[in-house]
Structure 1
Amino acid sequence: MSALRPLGCLARPLALLRPRLVAKFAGLRPPARRAHSLAGSSVTVRAAAAAPAAAGQREAPASFGVLGVTAELQAALAEKGISEPTEIQAAAVPALLHDRSSDFMLASHTGSGKTLAYLLPVVQILKESELAGGATAKSRRPRALVLGPTRELTDQILQVAKALSHAAKFRSAVVNGGSDMGGQREQLERPLDVLVGTPQRVMQHAEKSHLYYGDVEVVVLDEADTMFDRGFGPEVKAILAAVRTKPEPARCVLVSATMTKAVRKLIEDDFPGMRQVETSSLHRGVAGARHTFLPMPPNANKLDLLLQVVEGEHRRGKRLMIFANTLASCRAADHFLSERGLQTACYHGDVPVEERRAAMTEFAAADGERPPLLVCTDLAARGLDIPGRVDHVVNFDFPLNPIDYLHRTGRTARAGATGRITSLVTKGDRVLAERIEEALQRGLPLDALSSDRAVLPQHMRPKKETLQRKGLERKAEKHSNKGVRGAGRVERTSSGGKSGTSGGKGGAGKSGGSGSFGGKSSGGSFGGKSSGGSFGGKSSGGSFGGKSSDGNKSFGGFKSESSGSGGSKSYGSSKGGNGGSYGSSKGGSGSSYGSSKGGSGSSYGSSKGGSSSYGSSKGGSGSSYGGSKGGSGSSFGSGRGGSSGGPGRGSAGPAGGRGGGGKPRQRQTKFK
């Protein structure tokens, strides 16, 4: 991640985490006293990200009438200005209406319309049952129970239910920690169809006999992942046990923006046959949002950088939410911005309920007024449907996990609108920020990402076959010396044996000479089955190709006219030849560079019985550089199959070979 450069050093734009798209953070003119500019990497999630995952998936219907919604409920939706269903509504409404006995899991990103996705079919089923002569509304006996994790979310669910009840004619109420028990008890004593509440308050009323579960037909867990994350698991399981152990068990509908481990475990343990309805945008960036990552430069003031990000847009009347990880950080940012003359509102757990409601009301003020900067913790990240449009979400503290990132960024670009997300990235946030940015660029889900470098993202993990292959390779390497002990192990690591510097079947034949590159060659050859310094195959002597033998200074791939013995200064091979030949010779003498059998003199090839040769020899004597079989003297090469300075058939180290010749250095090993 690049650091932010001073204003005078903007020769190159700053890039964060090797991005493909690098953009200046435009529209801001920092005061002269500030020493850093705003530049970072941006990723825009296009509308294609919300396309159906499957190629054959049908498009969303154009109206709720196609989904089977009654005319009364369609009229209630029209009053709210809703005419077309979203992706989750188009999938969930008909499924819940047609299958009225199964449990369902509805999963979609924040702001996708999940509340209407379950309220519409639940209310319609209750009304149809009532018209058919079934159960009717009774006091203290709700027919549908909707649970939410926070007071704010339950209040919003009640508002949506009240909007539908004007046309559908059903009764609803809410019980949460925002009001006293006495007033809620009075509401429960009236006839009731739908009850919305937090798990803890619902259990308190049930324990005081203000509430009975006997007539509950369906129970909905809205924001199920948040309820388990905030410790409502025991209360939720107690309520589920009560409504599902009746003679006529209630069906369950789980609603979540993310599929966390706790939610998956609940489904596996308690709802093994639950049907899941998911959208293609689950765990992915919302289409229409632009994500910008700003790296923090060394020794920079994080609060000053925050001021540069939000000051311009705030003065233009934009709605901005600023997220912090802790109460202390939230208060520090709120205090700093207030001292700089910016209007702020604080929203966290220590703020009283009434003040939080007032802050949210002020933030969602009508257009034309300048709304305050909403400085908040993750309490405002989940389950809130903020009236109006949030233009910009700023992560003053980078989220600790990708789930929090999804919930925070879901506050903007809701219901098809556009929005911006800006994250201040410190040194400790680089790993997770890099992986989130890459996943956004690739259109991959974010839920499985980790801030631990040792935990690779799913698309970077090796395949199962690769892991198995590498395991077998490590096992083979571990047992490569198995059974080799004592002098044998010493010999493998010294001049002899099969542990030369390079192996292969390209050695110097069965009696190879020095410096060969080919296979079955004698002398300094490059080709195969060649003798002498040849480059070709099946050639003898210093030829480049062909089957030539002992040609006088022949380099081509043709058969030499003068083969046999007696060639002088020839580059080919000769039988019985003498003189300074570079080929191989049988019985030849003189300083030949090839291989010779029975040759004498200072030959560079291999010789059988030859002396002072540089190749390998059988029975040779003298100071030969090749290996010898039965030879004497200080030889440097290898014996049968060995060659010096080139790949051999066994191995061809500088002094390797089968039964290495000469006097290789060995360590004295004593055995008791």
Structure 2
Amino acid sequence: MSKSRAPFRMPRDSPDDSVPQAAAKTNLLAWNQLGLWTELVEAMARLELQTPTPVQQLAIPELLKEPPQHLAFLAATGSGKTLAYALPLLQMLKQGEVFADYERRPKRPRLLILVPTRELVVQITSVIKSVSHSIKLSSCSITGGEDYGVQRRQLNRPIDVVVATPGRLTKHWKDSNLFLGSLEHIVVDEMDTMLEQGFYRELRQLLYPVLYHKQADQEINVEQDLDAKAPRIVLTSATMTQQIQKIIGDSDNKKNLVNAKRHHRKVEDAGFQVKVPMVLPRTKVLKAAGLHKTVPRLQQVFVDVGATDKLSLLVDIVSSGGSGAAVAASLTDQQALTMIFCNTAASCRAAQFALSEARIESLAYHGDLNSAMRSENLKRFRAAGKKNCDNALAEEPRVLVCTDLAARGLDVPQVDHIVMFDFPLNALDYLHRSGRTARGVGGDRTGNGRVTALISKRDKVLANAIEQAVLRGDTLDGLSSRKSDYLPGARLGNQGRPVNKKNTARRGGGSFAQGKKEQKRKSSSSRGPRR
């Protein structure tokens, strides 16, 4: 094909016969105006994605700009960040293959996507394959817990995209099963979670050799040590944490931070020692509207537990759940698809036991389960939420009891109800948990959702601050669980003022007392005594 000739078809006034019904629901022009090729636009039609989300409108044109520059974009959970980077980067790979006569070789991917969990790898790989099929690019996933030999054979062929967890990818790299010298783009998805879950060491080991002229354990001067042929770095996150800000050299808006539960851990062993902080090339930061805020269409209720038995209250909430705010019309006679968040695996087991006694089936998802069991339970939970499921799938449990392991990145758009059995320890976890519902969905679903949070005495300071911020429409930046931070003249003293009751009714929130009163009413009518 001639280099002067466009490799793909130009936009047409009407879609072709391959996507007639889907294209009728999709605004093809809105996608094409972002600079995407027609094949990718039609892939969006097949996925029934009607229009680009705000973060996609923000990030896609930026990633398509020449020359490429390092980019970090921040947006709320469920806002479409995966497609925001996948579409432009896949297009650039194909563009290089066609116009630059790039020769694909085994073991040498051109796009690497690093994510924190195995389940997220599977989810992103599915998105990549559904899109890259239209432009004939190959991809594979690399995670722990899977057959190492099978992965080695996958890599030992011409491969364009690798989606991986850092630990298993590092092992393949050290065993020379893949080489990073051909990388054009590196995406670090869920960067805040990567740092929180302790992938600091692996990120340095993988990124430094391809970015700099020094090794991972050496101090870096970005201006002097950056390789002229270094791949472009793309970071995504649902929150801007202090660690991310330091790594990318962003000194703007220092107050607009959400602190993580725990910082990245310092790793020291015989072969590696973190003596200096990790740094990345100077990165342009894009922030989508609604960052650090809960979704506006989310109904939130805070229930003061008081002296009530917390497990009995949980059973009452789940039993009286009925059909959720985002439930499909075909499932209105079934229990809402519900995720119950706990702070520990032991708390998950207690919650599951109480539900089992009340004859409510549930699935578990926490760190005490191996990866295969977690994947199987997540698969069953997703099957329960499918719109057009057969009888076998309809019988799957519609309740998932989980820790914060399920709060990052996982996309189950049919989730109707989030129950926080244990209140999170910080505002960051609240944002991630509540982001599992009210996700943008199509068809006969409204994209709404609801959150019910159980509040114990020790949770009231942070819960009250989050509640007031939500009712005002403010961000959750820097909220604290220390009462002294909200005293007059203190760091957050201006956020401790009471919320206007009119705002409470208008925004669909509910105070502690209101939640408790409503829950008692539901409890008395929803079921008899639990044996």
What range is the shorter-chain TM-score in?
0.7 to 0.9
Given the alignment of the two structures, is residue 252 of structure 1 paired with residue 245 of structure 2, yes or no? no
Work out whether 1:347 is the aligned partner of 2:371: no
The one-letter code matched in structure 2 to 1:263 is I
1:434 counterpart residue number: 464
| Residue 493 (structure 2) aligns with | 460
Q: CA deviation at 1:447?
A: 3.1
Q: Is the 8 A contact 1:448 1:458 kept in 2?
A: no
The aligned residue for residue 377 of structure 1 is: 403
Alignment partner of 1:329 out of 334, 347, 353: 347
Pick closer, same or farther for the CA change 1:328–1:275 going to 2, 3 Å.
same
* Structure possessing the higher relative contact order (Cα contacts under 8 Å, 6 or more residues apart): 2
Please give the residue correspondences for 1:498-537 in structure 2 after superposition, counting only pairs within 5 Å: none
Q: Is the 8 A contact 1:398 1:429 kept in 2?
A: yes
Residue 195 of structure 1: SS of its match in structure 2?
Answer: strand
Aligned to 2:193: 226
CA distance in structure 1 between the partners assigned to 2:190 and 2:48 by the alignment: 25
Aligned equivalents of 1:100, 1:74: Cα separation in 2: 23
CA contact (8 A) 2:138 2:160 kept: yes
Asked whether 1:205 is paired with 2:223, we answer no
Structure 2 residue matching 1:277: 3-state secondary structure: strand
| 1:502-536 deviations in Å (ceiling 9; x for gaps) | xxxxxxxxxxxxxxxxxxxxxxxxxxxxxxxxxxx
Distance 1:372 1:290 in 2: 20
Q: Which residue of 1 aligns with 2:427?
A: 402
SS at match of 1:303: helix
Q: Which residue of 1 aligns with 2:473?
A: 443
Give the Cα separation in 2 of the matches to 1:419 and 1:167.
Answer: 33
User: Per-residue deviation at 1:458?
Assistant: 6.0
Q: Helix, strand or coil for the counterpart of 2:376?
A: helix
Equivalent position of 1:294 in the other structure: 303
TM superposition shift of 1:383: 1.1
**Alpha-carbon separation, structure 2, partners of 1:203 and 1:335:** 39
Instruction: Please state if 1:106 is matched with 2:73.
Output: yes
In the alignment, which residue of structure 1 is the partner of 2:440?
A: 415
User: In 2 relative to 1, CA 286–175 (structure 1 residues): closer, same or farther, beyond 3 Å?
Assistant: same
Please name the residue that 1:179 is paired with: 146
Whichever residue aligns with residue 413 of structure 1, its letter is: A
Q: Could you tell me whether the CA contact under 8 Å between 2:304 and 2:456 is conserved in 1?
A: yes
- Residue 165 (structure 1) shift: 1.7
> Structure 1: how far apart are the matches of 2:65 and 2:334?
49
Match for residue 283 of structure 1?
A: 292
Q: Which amino acid aligns with 1:375?
A: V
Distance in 1 of aligned mates of 2:343 and 2:234 = 31
Equivalent-residue separation in structure 1 for 2:95 and 2:369 (angstroms): 43
Displacement of 1:133: 2.4
Residues 196-205 or 360-369, more deviating = 360-369
SS at match of 1:455: helix
Distance 2:480 2:105 in 1: 49
Does 1:307 pair with 2:310? no
**2-side partners of 1:200 and 1:455: how far apart?**
39
Task: Tell me the alpha carbon deviations over residues 238-272 of structure 1, each in whole angstroms, 9 at most, x when there is no partner.
Answer: 21102213551111000001111111111126346
SS of 1:411's equivalent? coil
Q: In the TM superposition, what is the alpha-carbon distance from 1:461 to its structure 2 partner?
A: 5.2
- The 3 A distance-change label for structure 1 pair 447 and 99 is farther
Post-superposition CA distance 1:197-253 (Å, at most 9, x none):
011111111100111111001100000000000000111122110221355111100
Aligned AA (2:437): T
Equivalent-residue separation in structure 1 for 2:92 and 2:422 (angstroms): 45
The DSSP-based 3-state class of the residue aligned with 1:239 is helix
Q: In structure 2, how many angstroms separate the alpha carbons of the residues matched to 1:274 and 1:389?
A: 35
**Inter-CA distance 136–77: structure 2 relative to 1 (3 Å threshold):** farther
Q: Which amino acid aligns with 1:344?
A: S
The 8 Å contact of residues 62 and 84 in structure 1, kept in 2 or not, is answered as no
Structure-2 separation of matches of 1:304 and 1:435: 26
Q: CA deviation at 1:62?
A: 6.5
> Structure 1: which amino acid aligns with 2:288?
T
Please say if residues 62 and 85 of structure 1, whose CA atoms lie closer than 8 Å, have aligned partners that are also in contact. no
Aligned in 2, Cα 1:78/1:372: closer, same or farther, shift over 3 Å? Answer: same
TM-score relative to the length of structure 1: 0.58
Give the counterpart letter for 1:311 in structure 2.
Answer: S
Structure 2 unaligned segments of length 5 or more: list them.
1-26, 213-226, 250-277, 323-332, 442-446, 496-531
Return the alpha-carbon distance in structure 1 between the equivalents of residues 95 and 127 of structure 2.
Answer: 20
How far apart are 1:101 and its partner, in Å?
Answer: 2.5
- CA positional deviation for 1:352: 2.3
Instruction: Report deviation, 1:285.
Output: 1.1
Instruction: Say if 1:131 and 1:213 are closer, same or farther in 2 by CA, change over 3 A.
Output: same
Indicate how the Cα distance of structure 1 residues 64 and 236 shifts in structure 2: closer, same or farther if over 3 A, else same. same
Cα distance change of structure 1 residues 312 and 461 upon mapping to structure 2, 3 Å threshold:
closer
One-letter amino acid matched to 2:454: L
Any stretches of 5+ residues in structure 1 without a counterpart? Answer: 1-59, 463-672
Cα deviations by residue, 1:462-517 (Å, 9 ceiling, x for unpaired): 9xxxxxxxxxxxxxxxxxxxxxxxxxxxxxxxxxxxxxxxxxxxxxxxxxxxxxxx
**Which amino acid in 1 is paired with 2:302?**
F
Which residue in the other structure is 2:526 paired with? none
In structure 2, relative to structure 1, the CA distance for the partners of 1:237 and 1:76 (3 Å cut) is: same
* Bigger Rg over Cα: 1
What residue in structure 1 maps to residue 505 of structure 2? none
Matching of residue 153 in structure 1 with residue 179 in structure 2: no
CA distance in 1, matches of 2:312, 2:376: 28
Secondary structure of 1:322's aligned partner: strand
Helix, strand or coil at the partner of 1:184: helix
Q: Deviations over 1:357-399 (max 9, x none)?
A: 221122122346254311011111101012x411100000000
Residues 405 and 99 of structure 1: is their aligned pair in 2 closer, same or farther, counting only changes over 3 Å? farther
Aligned to 2:245: 264
1:643-672 Cα offsets, whole Å, 9 max, x none, are xxxxxxxxxxxxxxxxxxxxxxxxxxxxxx
Q: Secondary structure at the match of 1:397?
A: coil
Which structure: greater helix fraction?
A: 2
How many residue pairs match? The answer is 401
Instruction: Output the CA distance in 1 between the equivalents of 2:82 and 2:466.
Output: 28
| Counterpart Cα distance in 1 of 2:491 and 2:377 | 41
Deviation at 1:134, TM superposition (A): 3.8
2:502 equivalent in structure 1: none
Tell me how far 1:415 sits from its aligned partner. Answer: 1.0
3-state SS of 1:196 partner: strand
Deviations 1:33-54 (A, max 9, x none): xxxxxxxxxxxxxxxxxxxxxx
C-alpha displacement of 1:61: 10
Q: Quick one: which of 203, 209, 229 aligns to 1:242?
A: 209
TM-score (norm 2): 0.73
Instruction: Trace 1:576-595 onto structure 2 (pairs within 5 A).
Output: none
- Which residue identity is paired with 1:363? F
- Report the counterpart of residue 545 of structure 1 in structure 2: none
Equivalent position of 1:655 in the other structure: none
Q: Which amino acid aligns with 1:282?
A: L
Q: Report the equivalent of 1:168.
A: 135
Q: 1:129 aligns with which of 86, 96, 101?
A: 96
CA shift digits 1:126-146 (9 cap, x unpaired)? 111111124232111100110
Structure 2: how far apart are the matches of 1:63 and 1:133?
29
- Structure 2 SS opposite 1:249: coil
Task: Classify the secondary structure of the residue corresponding to 2:32.
Answer: coil
For residues 82 and 458 of structure 1, the distance between their equivalents in structure 2, rounded to whole angstroms, comes to 43
The share of aligned pairs that are identical, in percent, is 43
Aligned to 1:643: none
Residue deviations 1:308-359, cap 9 Å, x none?
Answer: 1111226832100000000110100011101110011111112122222221
1:360 to 368, 373, 378: 378
